[in-house]
Structure 1
Amino acid sequence: MTILKQLQNGLVVSCQPVDDGPMDRPDIILAMAQAAIAGGAVGVRIEGADNVAAVRAGITQPIIGIVKRDLNDSPVRITPWVQDVVDLAQAGADVIAYDATERVRPTACAELVQEISARGCLGMADCATIADARAAVADGAQILGSTLSGYTVETAGDNGAPDLKFVSELRALERFVMAEGRYDTPQWARMALDAGADCVTVGTVLTRLEVNTNKFHEALQKRDQDNGDMQIG
C-alpha cells in the first residue's frame, strides 16, 4: 500500500510538545506517537531528525518529518535547508514537509522538493495561499497542506477557525490535500474532509498539554477575577 493510500481519509497527529518542556524528549514523543496510532491515527507528524528516528523505531505507520528553525534573515521556519531534508530522510521520514510560502528563504522550494524526491520521500508543501500551492505543484510536491493559512502576514486573521475555503481551493489542484491548522474539534476535522481534504492533521489540542492546561487555568482565574470585581463594585 502506498503512503498516500495509507493516509487517505485518515487522521495524522502532530506529536510536537512545547519546545524545551518536560515532554520534549524522544522517548515521550515516541509514546505520544504510539498512543495516537492506538487511538486510530494513520500517521504522525514529527519535528526533528532525532525524534523522527526514535519514532521510526517504534511504529510502522507513515511519518511526516519536519525541522523547525528560527532564522535571523527569514521568516521561514519549517525545513528551510537541504541538510534538513537529508537528515529527516536518513532518520526514516516517509514524507518531508517544508514551508512553501512565497517569502524570503535560504533555499528555493524547488531545490528542497528535488532533494526530497531524490531521497525517496514524498514532498509536502505547507502553504498559506493558493499561489503557494500552484507553485508547489509546479515544483513537484505531492501533498498540499493548508498548514500556514492564518500564520503569515497576508493571511493572518482573528476568528481562530480553520480555513475550509482554502482546503476547497487546494482540492481543485488535483493533488493530495492535507488539512492542517486549527482543527481542534472532531467536527472541524470531518468538515475538512467534506471540503475536499484527503487527510487531516491535528496537533496542539491533542499533544500540547501545557497549552491546553493553561486554557483551563486562565478560565478559572478569569472567573475569580470577575467575581472579585463584582464584589468590589
Structure 2
Amino acid sequence: MINQAILDKLKKQVIVSCQALDNEILHGSDIMAKMAIAAEQGGAAGIRANSAKDVRAIKGAVDLPIIAIIKAVYPNSDVYITPTIKEVDELAVLQPAFIAMDCTWRKRPKETLEEIVAHCRMHYPEIMLMADCGSYRDAELANNLGFDILGTTLSGYTEETKNVSLPNISLVEQMVANFDRPVFCEGGIHTTDEMNRAFAAGAHTSVIGGAITRPNEITQYFVSHIGK
C-alpha cells in the first residue's frame, strides 16, 4: 500500500544505502547505525539496510524511512535479495517503510514472486514493496505484480545486463515513461552529475551506496587517479 506522505518526503531526495557484508571492515550493526546517523545529519531522506539486525539498529538510531532487505544465498538460484517469504517475515516484524526484493525473471529458490507478493499484501499491507529490477522486462513483471516502487537496483548485476553502463539512466526513462509508479534510481551513482541526470530522467529518488558508505572503494578511486 502506497504511503504518500513518505513518498512525498523522498521526492528528489537521497537515500543512503548503509550496508557492509561479513567480509568488509565496517560490518556490524552498531557501525551501520552510526553510518545512518551520519547520513541523516548530512541530509539523507532515507536509508537502505541489509539484515534484520541492521534494520533494528538503524530504526533505533534515526527517524528516517528504511528500505529493508536481507541478502541470503540459496543453492541453485542467483536470487539473493530478500529471496523468500522467510526473509520477508523477518523484516516485516520490524515494520520498515519498504521491503525490497529481487524482481527478475531468474530462477527463485522457493516461492514464486506472485506468492511472495500475495503473502505481503495479506499479512503486511502497510509495508510498501520495492522491486529490485535489472531490465525493462523485469520492470514489466514488477508492474504486473503490483509492486509499489520500481528500482534499477540490479541493472548491471544480472547476466542479461552485465555489460550495461551504470547508472542506467535509460532504464529510468523507460520505467518513468511506461509505468505509473515511483522509480528509484539505484546502482552506480558516484557523482552529483549522475544523481541529477537520474532526477532529470524522472527518478523519484536516488539511492546512493558505495560512493558514500564504502571508504575502501572511495580511497581506491582517488589512488587510481593519482597524476591523471
Structure 2 length as normaliser, TM-score? Answer: 0.91
Pair 1:184-2:190 in alignment: yes
Q: Answer yes or no: is the 8 Å Cα contact 1:56–1:92 preserved in 2.
A: no
Pair 1:14-2:17 in alignment: yes
Pair 1:92-2:95 in alignment: yes
Decide which of 99, 110, 116 is 2:114's aligned counterpart.
Answer: 110
Between 1:198-207 and 1:63-72, the stretch displaced more is 63-72
Q: CA deviation at 1:7?
A: 1.4
Match of 2:176 in 1: 171
Between 1:131-140 and 1:49-58, the stretch displaced more is 131-140
Q: CA deviation at 1:146?
A: 0.7
Q: 1:219 to 1:189 in 2, by over 3 A?
A: closer
Q: Answer yes or no: is the 8 Å Cα contact 2:68–2:91 preserved in 1.
A: yes
Pair 1:132-2:135 in alignment: no
Match of 2:167 in 1: 162
Pair 1:25-2:28 in alignment: yes
Q: CA deviation at 1:219?
A: 5.1
Which whole-Å CA distance do the structure 1 matches of 2:209 and 2:17 have between them?
A: 4
Decide which of 191, 195, 198 is 2:204's aligned counterpart.
Answer: 198
Letter in 2 for 1:164: I
Task: Give the total of aligned pairs.
Answer: 220
Match of 1:77 in 2: 80
Which whole-Å CA distance do the structure 2 matches of 1:109 and 1:205 have between them?
A: 31
Q: Answer yes or no: is the 8 Å Cα contact 2:104–2:134 preserved in 1.
A: yes
Q: Answer yes or no: is the 8 Å Cα contact 2:95–2:127 preserved in 1.
A: no
Between 1:89-98 and 1:183-192, the stretch displaced more is 89-98
Largest Rg, 1 or 2: 1
Q: Answer yes or no: is the 8 Å Cα contact 2:133–2:154 preserved in 1.
A: yes
* Percent of residue pairs bearing the same amino acid type: 36
Match of 2:158 in 1: 152
Instruction: Name the SS for the 1:104 alignment partner.
Output: coil
Instruction: Show CA shifts across 1:25-52 (max 9, x none).
Output: 1111011111111111100000000100
Letter in 2 for 1:115: H
Which structure 1 segments of 5+ residues have no match? 224-233
* C-alpha RMSD over aligned residues: 1.6
Which whole-Å CA distance do the structure 1 matches of 2:101 and 2:70 have between them?
A: 8
Which whole-Å CA distance do the structure 1 matches of 2:144 and 2:19 have between them?
A: 30
Q: Answer yes or no: is the 8 Å Cα contact 2:68–2:100 preserved in 1.
A: yes
Q: Answer yes or no: is the 8 Å Cα contact 1:127–1:147 preserved in 2.
A: yes
Which structure 2 segments of 5+ residues have no match? none
Question: Which portions of structure 1, spanning 4 or more consecutive aligned residues, are displaced by more than 4 angstroms?
Answer: 217-220
Instruction: Show CA shifts across 1:36-74 (max 9, x none).
Output: 111111000000001000111111210000011222210
Match of 2:216 in 1: 210
Structure 1 length as normaliser, TM-score? Answer: 0.89
Q: CA deviation at 1:2?
A: 2.1
